[in-house]
Chains A and B, each alone.
Chain A
Amino acid sequence: DTAVSQTPKYLVTQMGNDKSIKCEQNLGHDTMYWYKQDSKKFLKIMFSYNNKELIINETVPNRFSPKSPDKAHLNLHINSLELGDSAVYFCASSKAGPMNSPLHFGNGTRLTVT
């Protein structure tokens, strides 16, 4: 199946830990994104990569670091997790540059920090 897949779907961890969320797309898209869903269902963009290059870097703590080993993958690494990091994180991809072509979303990762 062609899709955007992110793992894990659920992640429960303790404060202070370091964790990663992985995202892969096999759609041949050039651009990938990480979004954070808040409790009111607003989606806030965090990062965007185009062909492994960082093109959008919103105001997020330095503890969040995206890594794109190739254009089909965009992983999100979070250091020193805090309670406030608990949220649902969505990976997405699009064919062309940011905000110009349809987004294909992954299924989301629910991160719970205890």
Chain B
Amino acid sequence: AQRVTQPEKLLSVFKGAPVELKCNYSYSGSPELFWYVQYSRQRLQLLLRHISRESIKGFTADLNKGETSFHLKKPFAQEEDSAMYYCALSEGNAGNMLTFGGGTRLMVKP
């Protein structure tokens, strides 16, 4: 069965510092990986997906199949990045049900 692990429940950085939210997964097939974000008092929303290879709000994430990781990175954190971040995986084929990690709270201090 697939599993998603976010080892840090809380990550605290200063504004302008680089940030990396870790996500590791276990899955035997070809997964699709996603990052979701929930800002305070807002709805959960999709941030980015690995197949799009996009940068959203300065965040990027690269799928590393060798290390089975999909870490979320941003070179210079902003205070408005403070939120809960969830990594998720879905099967690459018709299964496509999401499996979520436990979430990491990012706090960006001024």
Contacts and interface: CB of A to CB of B under 8 A. Distances in A.
Given A45-B43, A99-B43, A105-B98, 12 more contacts: A43-B45, A43-B46, A43-B98, A88-B96, A88-B97, A98-B41, A99-B40, A102-B84, A103-B86, A103-B100, A103-B103, A108-B98
A104 interface: yes
Interface of B: 9, 32, 34, 36, 38, 40-46, 49, 84, 86, 88, 90, 96-100, 102-103, 105
Nearest to A44: B43
A105 B34 CA distance: 15
Contacts of A43: 36, 44-46, 98
A37 interface: yes
Contacts of B34: 41
Contacts of B32: 41
Name the prevailing secondary structure of the B interface residues. Answer: strand
7 contacts: A35-B44, A41-B46, A43-B36, A99-B38, A99-B43, A103-B38, A107-B97
Contacts of B96: 41, 88
Interface of A: 35, 37, 41-43, 45, 88, 90, 98-100, 102-105, 107-108, 110
